[in-house]
Amino acid sequence: MNAPLNADLHCHSVVSDGTLSPEELAQRAKAHGVTLWSLTDHDEIGGQARAAAAAAACGLDYLTGVEISVTFLHQTVHIVGLGFDASDASLAEGLQQTRGGRAQRATEMAADLARVGIPGTFEGALTYAGNPNLISRTHFARFLVETGVCKDTYEVFRKYLTEGKPGFVEHRWASLKDAVRWITQAGGMAVIAHPARYKFSANEELALFTEFKGHGGQGVEVVTGSHSIAESANYAAMALEFGLAASRGSDFHSPGESRTELGALPDLPAQLTPVWQLLAERIQRAPTPARV
């Protein structure tokens, strides 16, 4: 049996829709007891070099990371990639393509919100986007909170920006096959992110897991900030059934917003294979302090 490891393999920086820098996240992860960390910005690996350097500087082991937006059966699914070579050209090109439609989508979201009497949200959201190529619904949500339209970002996503609500614009992201291929061909492992968040029927979910495996996907998030204890137990069983390794990550975005702190998660159930066991060779080990 493996000793539990405080691994946090899912979080976001200002390079996507988080509010902290990669350096601030590394320090915060360290302060909360994390020993193996990964920064997994949405569709973007521009923060990887800084994250790896910051991890080394504060004594954290590091795995490269990304969270790719995928469209599967008309829903958005997130696929986390871990331990890939961040200089891989096809991965970079695939991510650039995936980011491509965000500005246009944001313009359409703003037009839709203006129709229900909320003007100026494109410009407003943009002031929150640390990376103008990665304007996301989270940036709109922060603007709607700041301007008093909603009391917090949870209320925003309840009333706006989600399917059937004002400000929702359907978008076509990467295919499941491409996302898994970009990650695995770059030497990394593809992991289904927060599976309980999707609104699939049992058959559709089966199709997701089956196709994901068929494309070479190897892992699933079992313990995440998005799962209840019961949901974790359910996806632990799914991991065993499908022969997938299990991942653990907070999905931390911001001190003011996120309900789950970096590293503050239950351990993975003992019978599962942790993703970091299969990725041992890909871990960038923190330099051990010199002995005196």
Closer CB to ligand AMP, 9 or 272, in the complex? 9
Give the one residue of 136, 224, 250, 260 binding ligand AMP; rule: CB under 6 A: 136
Residues 189-218 that bind Mn ion (CB under 5 A): 193
Are 10 and 193 spatial neighbours (Cβ–Cβ below 8 Å)? yes
Letter for the amino acid at 243? G
DSSP letters, 222-288, are: EEETT--HHHHHHHHHHHHHHT-EEEEE--B--TTT-SS-TT-SPPPPTTSPBHHHHTGGG-BPPPP
For the window 46-75, what string marks contact with Mn ion as x by the rule CB under 5 A?
A: ---------------------x--------
Under rule CB under 5 A, residue 41 binds Mn ion: no
Under rule CB under 6 A, residue 69 binds ligand AMP: yes
Q: Is 97 helix (H, G, I), strand (E, B) or coil?
A: helix
**What's the closest the beta carbon of residue 291 comes to ligand AMP, in angstroms?**
43
Q: Using CA atoms in the order 127, 131, 135, 136, what is the torsion angle rounded to 10 degrees?
A: -100
Categorise residue 164: left if φ over 0, alpha if ψ from -120 to 50, beta otherwise: left
Letter for the amino acid at 274? P
Residues 252-291 that bind ligand AMP (CB under 6 A): 253
Site size for ligand AMP (CB under 6 A): 11
**What's the closest the beta carbon of residue 260 comes to ligand AMP, in angstroms?**
12
Residue 157 contact among ligand AMP, Mn ion, none, beta carbon within 5 to 8 Å by kind: ligand AMP
Residue 153 contact among ligand AMP, Mn ion, none, beta carbon within 5 to 8 Å by kind: ligand AMP
Give the one residue of 8, 41, 221, 251 binding Mn ion; rule: CB under 5 A: 251
Q: Is 62 helix (H, G, I), strand (E, B) or coil?
A: strand
Residues 6+ apart with CB under 8 A from 84: 64, 66, 91, 183, 186, 187, 188, 282
Under rule CB under 5 A, residue 17 binds Mn ion: yes
Nearest Cα neighbor of 143 from 156, 134, 154, 132 is: 156
CA dist 234 and 44 (Å) reads 30
**What's the closest the beta carbon of residue 210 comes to ligand AMP, in angstroms?**
25
Nearest Cα neighbor of 149 from 108, 184, 120 is: 120
Closer CB to ligand AMP, 25 or 286, in the complex? 25
Q: Which residue is nearest to Mn ion (CB)?
A: 78
Chain centroid to Cα 283, Å, comes to: 19
Give the one residue of 30, 78, 102, 137 binding Mn ion; rule: CB under 5 A: 78
Closer CB to ligand AMP, 22 or 167, in the complex? 167
For the window 199-228, what string marks contact with ligand AMP as x by the rule CB under 6 A?
A: ------------------------------
Q: Is 274 helix (H, G, I), strand (E, B) or coil?
A: strand
**What's the closest the beta carbon of residue 286 comes to Mn ion, in angstroms?**
24
For the window 150-179, what string marks contact with Mn ion as x by the rule CB under 5 A?
A: ------------------------------
CA dist 117 and 210 (Å) reads 44
H or E, element range at 121? helix 121-128
Residues of the shown chain interacting with ligand AMP in the complex, contacts defined by CB under 6 A: 17, 42, 69, 136-138, 153-154, 157, 162, 253
| Interface ranges with Mn ion (CB under 5 A) | 17, 67, 78, 193, 251
